[in-house]
Amino acid sequence: MKGRLFVAFPLLAALLALGGCGTAPQSPMTESAVPSGKARVYFFRDADYYDAMVWTTVSLDGRPVGASAPGSVFFRDVAPGTYRVEARSDQLYPAQIKRVALAAGTTTFIKVEPQPYWGKSALLWQGNTFSVAVVDPRVARSQIEGLTPSSG
């Protein structure tokens, strides 16, 4: 009997430890504080039925910082400054690029918005069009709840 308990206890402990590996990812809102001297930027995209199920590259000043997928959210900590924010797009769209001023210690939310019917005709597929929008933090926090955290 003692031999069975000796074998069963380590096995049970291992199973309990492995059970924690399958937990859902934490909400990105539970991340640590913004590092000193940095600004945090969240990039998110709804899981919209009409959204093209493609990833698109998100850039700051023309430098890729991550990829946005439908229903996902990721963030980057960057140096304070003014940045040109854009999502790679196959078509031009009015005001699709935004300029944002990021101050140290602040958090900014950028929504990647697909424009599923822009530049398309009934006869010809013209690629994917995306724009970005700066979203009020109170609104954005509720919009990113339930999105899948991503490394970008």
Q: Which two tokens stand for residue 119?
A: 């530049």
pLDDT of residue 6: 40
- What's the sign of the alpha-carbon dihedral 68, 69, 70, 73? negative
Q: How is the chain split into domains, by residue range?
A: 26-149
The secondary structure of 45-64 as a DSSP string is: E---TTS-S--EEEEETTEE
Intervals of the chain under pLDDT 70: 1-31, 49-52, 117-125
pLDDT digits (tens, 9 = 90+) for 9-19: 343 333 333 33
Q: Which of 71, 18, 44, 31 is nearest to 135 (CA)?
A: 44
Report the predicted TM-score, pTM, of the whole model to 2 decimal places.
Answer: 0.75
pLDDT of residue 22: 36
CATH architecture for the domain at 26-149: Sandwich (2.60)
